[in-house]
């Protein structure tokens, strides 16, 4: 099963990427400030960093 969402916020990386681009957010810290993802358990933080860098929204389990 690929990793494709922030489980705490119940939002997919695809949705987060769309919102980030729409709002001009470029860092995980900006996503966190907007309370959009990676503010609770933070397990998705490395995936969100990669998502913002590359546009990739689905990751093999345990890759990052």
Residue 63 has pLDDT above 90, yes or no: no
Asked if pLDDT for residue 47 goes beyond 80, the answer is yes
Domain boundary assignment for the chain: 5-54
Q: Using the CB atoms, write b or e for 1-23: b if 16+ within 10 Å.
A: eebebbeebeeebebbbeebeee
Residues of the chain above pLDDT 90, percent: 92
* pTM for the structure as a whole: 0.91
Instruction: With a cut of 90, say whether residue 54 has pLDDT above it.
Output: yes
Using one digit for the tens of pLDDT, what is the confidence trace for 17-46? Answer: 999 999 999 999 999 999 999 999 999 999
Burial label for 39, CB within 10 Å (0-12, 13-18, 19+), is middle
E-only strand ranges, 1-64: 5-6, 11-12
């Amino acid at each position: 099963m690929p990793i494709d969402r922030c489980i705490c916020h119940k939002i997919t990386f695809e949705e987060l990427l769309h919102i980030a681009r729409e709002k001009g957010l470029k860092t995980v810290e900006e996503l966190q400030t907007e309370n959009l993802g990676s503010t609770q358990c933070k397990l998705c933080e490395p995936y969100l960093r990669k998502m913002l860098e590359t546009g990739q929204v689905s990751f093999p389990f345990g890759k990052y």
